[in-house]
Amino acid sequence: MATIKDVANLAGVSHGTVSNVLNGRGNVSVEKVEAVIRAAQQMGYELNAQAQLLRAKSRNAFALVVPNIHAEQHHHLYEGLHQTLKGHFDGELDLYLTDDVAATERTILKKLAGKGYQAVIAVSCLERADEYYQTLKLPQTKIIFVYRRPLGATTHITLDYTQAARELGNEIRHRDFSTVGVLTDPIHYHDVEAFIRELTRTLGPSRRVMVCNSPAAESYKAAFELFRDGPPDAIIAMDNEKARYSVIANTLRNRANTPVLYKLSDSLQPQQEGEYFYQMNYQELATVIAKTLASIPTATLPTFIHNRGFSQLSALETRAPSPVSDSLNVLLLPSPSSDALNKLLPHFYKQTGINVQLVTLPYDELFDILSNLNAHPYYDVLRLDVAALPWFAHRILTPLDDVLPALPGLLDNYDKHIIDKYCKVHQISYAVPFDASSQLLFYRQDLFHDTMLSRMFYEKFGRELQVPTTFQDFDTIADFFTALHQPGNPQRPMGTSMTLGNSALIATEYLTRYYAMGGQLLKKSGPPHLDRDIAIAALQDYLHQLSISMPLQESWWNAAVKRFEQGELAMQIAYMNLFNDVAHSPIFPALGYASVPGGIPQLGGGSLGLSRYSKKHRQTALFFDWLYSEEIVEHRVLLGGSSAHKSMCRNQLIIQQYPWFGTLEENVPKGIRESSWHDGTPFDLRSAERVIGLGVSYAINALKNIEQVIDDINQQLLEYVE
């Protein structure tokens, strides 16, 4: 195999020059970079792979110790740690398997002791935590025991198995089953013992509970013991593998009625007749551990994570069907969230008999209907943009407190900042978040890490090519890429794009710069207005960006996202929900994301509320209960929709597919959308944005000079009447 020395000789450069190219450093001339790349390709030398090997010894790492990787809870633990840590930690996650054999685990401990891990996460079969503490010599807070709790463990986290046992027990009592079989891991483990204790207490002495506990390797045989004295009325399987063994044992050993099967799981699986899923939060548990490990200073782990409970797909409770004539008319924007909802509506109909008609209209048409809703009383549920909610809430919506009995619990699933922006107006709940979003900077990681481009940028500007944190840097980088643009070559795209076919979109892109400079639209006193000096400077920079960007005469940002997806743009500032479809495109592995330049994103997306003209309060309550359940929210997001539901920001399946979802919780508190005055009085931001966008368009078309444009905008805003 070729070595660095071989590459250096062929390229006619020093060993150190090749090393610098391998590590992506910018202190090598373009000519030498090209020579090294040509030599490496000629000799079959894998630059990136070799560079990773060179750097590996200096990288930090965590260790995960589990009995096996095929059990669902262990698989999700590894995947969740891996996916979350790679976004917060420049290091490795090493996996060790014990097969639930104590001797094997002790051998692994000796290996861990010499590898200098920052932390160790373990699902341990050992009885005492001291074996870890004495062997590893790590701070006890850096050794995290998961699920099972060895004696003396300082740091431990698990799921709420007491909650699971209580809710399963109540369901079994409700269905009046008299015998229950439970297939579990050994009962001396902390989580199993807690589950059996609470299940027995909940079921009471009148019901017979038969516990078959065994190590994972013996679970198959243990499943057959459930049928030793005839089949129980119900079986509880503590994981998917045990559920599978229970089904096999029933098929082969049972000649009587098939027991009802309850599975503890966190998987999306089709439901079979007589099978019911109780949803455990394996993924969230892993995410919490990873974020705790990556935090500085290290945060405190909670004791346990709550479960999601029974799956709606199991249809445990069949609702009384509504009259066939029952229906709801829902008015939405066309969006990935609307498309996802439409795919799920048959399930709601099967549960309730209520037919939901989705009507999707472009933004301007939807806004006109909201402005004249008395002429459209047939709409029941309305989607309101976050910019318009305060203005319209008391005019066209029914407060939800008396309509939705479950509203307090429903809103508990959202951060306070989300509720303040997307739900409440003057402390009255008018709506529930539907597709809340915020702006992000999306960029091509492959371009920013490209050795040749990095060197070219360094030679031109004397600094490293890095993701921009200010608009000054953003413009410099956009100009750099645009100057190198080669049509049809995805490795030489334009720097960015600007959407010019809609005044509201023009205003949004301009205001992002204006806010980054410290500007405000609404002051504590006086009419709305742009700070003149800041507004002029922001407009000058906006027009400069126009000269180095791809102009798009489109009425929505979909075209900009499509151009990015096709490799025609190096960077794009956009609302995060618009990029969900990019996650399914070939460019996804190269997709990076960061805070918008200036660090003040605008908030987007909207909420659903009930029209004041609608009398269908019962149907709306059923619809909202279904739509905002954690399970349906998860399916909606997996189908490409968006949601600010807390659990979605910790759901590994979703974070793996749409990694930018994890930024929403931190972006909303620092985000802005000036739709209310400081005292909470609604402000017609939509009209103000139209004024600003139309004004900026005069400057775009050189019909007015910059100073005149800002003065005219402020004059029109001065005439604003609430």
pLDDT tens-digit profile of 182-215?
999 999 999 999 999 999 999 999 999 999 999 8
Q: Which residue has the higher pLDDT, 11 or 186?
A: 186
Residue 102 identity: A
Architecture in CATH of 327-436+605-670: 3-Layer(aba) Sandwich (3.40)
Stronger pLDDT, 47 or 565, i.e. the higher one? 565
Question: How far is residue 479's CA from residue 496's CA, in Å, rounded to a whole number?
Answer: 9
Is residue 382 helix, strand or coil?
strand
pLDDT grade, residue 326 (50/70/90)? confident
For position 251, what pLDDT does the model report?
Answer: 87
What does the H/E/C string look like for 618-666? Answer: HHHHHHHHHHCCHHHHHHHHHCCCCCCCHHHHCCHHHHHHCHHHHHHHH
The class that CATH gives domain 60-158 is alpha beta
Confidence class of residue 291 from pLDDT cuts 50, 70 and 90?
A: confident
Tell me the pLDDT tens digit for each residue of 102-115: 999 999 999 998 88
| 3 state SS of 433 | strand
- The CATH architecture one would assign to domain 4-56 is Orthogonal Bundle (1.10)
Q: Which of 244-258, 534-548, 620-634 has the highest mean pLDDT?
A: 534-548
Q: Which CATH class is domain 440-600+676-718?
A: alpha beta
Residues 6+ away with beta carbon under 8 Å from 245: 183, 219, 220, 222, 223, 237
Instruction: Report the CATH superfamily, name and number, of domain 159-280.
Output: Response regulator (3.40.50.2300)
CA 454, 458, 462: angle at the middle one, nearest 5? 155
Q: For 326-353, b where at least 16 C-beta lie within 10 A, e where not — what string? A: bbbbbbbbebbbbbbbeebbeebeebbb
| 303 CB-side CA count, 13 A | 5
Confidence of residue 23 (pLDDT cuts 50, 70, 90): low
Where do the CATH 3.40.50.2300 domains begin and end in the chain?
Answer: 60-158, 159-280
What is the structure's pLDDT at 295?
A: 75
| Structure confidence at residue 656 (pLDDT) | 79
Q: Residue 297's pLDDT is what? A: 63
Residue-wise over 210-222: b if at least 16 C-beta within 10 A, else e? ebbbbebeebbeb
Where in the chain is CATH 3.40.190.10? 327-436+605-670, 440-600+676-718
Q: Give the model's confidence band at 631: pLDDT under 50 very low, under 70 low, under 90 confident, else very high.
A: confident
Ranges for all domains in the chain classified under CATH 1.10.260.40: 4-56
Q: In angstroms, what CA-CA distances link 621 with 362, 373, 513?
A: 26, 21, 41
Q: Given pLDDT bands bounded at 50, 70 and 90, which one contains residue 314?
A: low
Weakest-pLDDT range from 259-273, 441-455, 483-497: 259-273
Residue 73 · residue 239 · CB < 8 Å: yes
Residue 114, token pair as written in the block: 């010499």
Q: What's the pLDDT band for 317 if we cut at 50, 70, 90?
A: very low
Within a 10 A sphere around the Cβ of 401, how many other Cβ atoms?
Answer: 12
Single-letter residue type at 94: D
